[in-house]
Amino acid sequence: MDLFDSIYIILVKPEKIRNIGQIARAMKNFGFSKLRIICPPMGNMREAYENAVNAKDIIDNREVFGDIKAATLDLNLLIGTSSRDRLQPLSPWELADMVISNPHLKYGILFGTEFRGLSNKELDLCHKVVSIPTSEAYPSMNISHAVCIICYELKKGFIADASHRLISSEPLASISEIENLIEHSRRTLSNIGFLKESAPGHLVPILRRLSTNINITSKDIRILRGILRQIDWIYSKSINIEENR
């Protein structure tokens, strides 16, 4: 399952039609599309469409329900949002880690009314609670801003996870490969005059730290040594030209 498709943004009794449009826009900004609304406000949706701008399709495809139970029957895990102190709330980035660690589940993220948020009874229906770390002096957030932050942190986590899996698909370089690269670098840099043979020691620790800080792979080593071999070839060719003059 695509991680973006596993996330359902669920609005519980929203009071302002314009906020539905702003939420749709925030969702689409970060790649999310599944919007469910429990007891939406009565009235013309024109204001929602105006605020959605280019996310009108999110509103078109919204699902409407009469209560939380009906809106979440097909989901696996419910996450409530709250600024109130609850037992061990997740941060938005911890929520992203949880979703990444359990990619086959379907998650409903519940947002309460603009002025009161989710009630304690509604929060009790949730398996987890997520809380955005806001100022203690004024913790209450605009609902569309809260949705935006949650969606941003989820997307950021998904991108980081994809990058990590891409790196992890290549085997990391062995100590032997790294040390051979360092020795090859030292030799080549000495030949071209960048490194003085009398004092090569300061560069070797730097190269060693760099190689361990960036999760260098065997493929990376091959590419870097290929570059060094090209430098070696150009250097030896220039030496031959000088000797033949």
Q: Where are the domains of the chain?
A: 4-168, 175-244
Residue 86 reports pLDDT greater than 80: no
- What is the pLDDT, as a whole number, of residue 162? 67
Measuring CA to CA, which residue among 23, 115, 150, 11 is closest to residue 71? 11
- What is the pLDDT, as a whole number, of residue 29? 96
- What is the pLDDT, as a whole number, of residue 111? 97
Report, as an integer, the average pLDDT of 83-108: 86
Report, as an integer, the average pLDDT of 91-100: 92
**CA-to-CA dists, residue 58 to 41, 52, 135, 183, angstroms:** 17, 8, 31, 57
What distance in Å separates the CA atoms of residue 214 and residue 224, rounded to the nearest whole number?
14
The label of the residue with tokens 């009314």 reads 113
- What is the pLDDT, as a whole number, of residue 181? 86
Looking at per-residue confidence, does 77 or 210 come out higher? 77
Opening angle at CA 124, ends 61 and 150, nearest 5: 45
What distance in Å separates the CA atoms of residue 51 and residue 78, rounded to the nearest whole number?
27
- What is the pLDDT, as a whole number, of residue 112? 94
How confident is residue 101, by pLDDT bands cut at 50, 70 and 90? confident
- What is the pLDDT, as a whole number, of residue 196? 67
Looking at per-residue confidence, does 48 or 179 come out higher? 48
Please identify, in words, the CATH class of the domain defined by 175-244.
mainly alpha
In CATH, 4-168 is 3.40.1280.10: yes
What distance in Å separates the CA atoms of residue 90 and residue 131, rounded to the nearest whole number?
6
pTM for the structure as a whole: 0.69
Measuring CA to CA, which residue among 15, 13, 27 is closest to residue 56? 27
How confident is residue 209, by pLDDT bands cut at 50, 70 and 90? low
Residue 110 contacts residue 68 (beta carbons within 8 Å): yes
Q: Which residues contact 10 (CB under 8 A, 6 or more apart)?
A: 36, 37, 38, 68, 71, 72, 108, 109, 110, 111
**Length of the chain counted residue by residue:** 245
> In the predicted model, what is the mean pLDDT of the chain?
86
Residue 38 reports pLDDT greater than 80: yes
- What is the pLDDT, as a whole number, of residue 176? 79
Residue 173 reports pLDDT greater than 80: no
SS3 200: coil
